[in-house]
Amino acid sequence: METELLASLIDKKYAILSSLRQLARAQGKIVQDGDMTRLMKLLATKQNLLTQLQHIERQLDPFRSQDPDSRKWRSPERRQQTRDMATRCESLLSEIMLVEKQCEGELVVRRDAAATRLQGIHSVTQATDAYLSNGPAHSQLDLSSDT
């Protein structure tokens, strides 16, 4: 039955979104720790799951134009289970998006702090270079007196 395919796709979507939620939560901790190596590995794993999710979404496309009331289900219970799972998927997606926004905000704060530190280092380097460019004669104090 076509509705069994729909139910199966919704179940797969839920499983992927559940994994993405776990990774998003882990991502938040990794971002707080500032571990960019682990973050890159996690993002690669997320990319794989997002590719799978896109594939499932394309498979779901034909169902989007259908009238839900015209679908023939094996049982009313199966229809309700699928409806509930679709609702859970939407809830998971909202949760994932919230965590992603929080991670993005934390990364922006960390980026700005790093930029400020780098600007400070650059300023110190410029001052040191300017001081040293005046040559060794100007870098020593003249302690001689004319009297």
Please choose, from the candidates 98, 71, 80, 96, the residue with its C-alpha nearest in 3D space to the C-alpha of residue 17.
Answer: 96
- At 131, the pLDDT band (50, 70, 90 cuts) reads low
Please choose, from the candidates 61, 56, 62, the residue with its C-alpha nearest in 3D space to the C-alpha of residue 8.
Answer: 56
CB neighbours of residue 96 within 10 Å: 19
* Helices 36-64 and 2-33: angle between axes, nearest 10 degrees: 160
pTM for this entry: 0.73
What residue type is assigned to position 19 of the chain?
A: S
Report the distance separating Cα 40 and Cα 27, nearest Å: 10
pLDDT tens digits, 1-37: 899 999 999 999 999 999 999 999 999 889 888 888 9
Residue 42 pLDDT? 94
Residue 105 pLDDT? 82
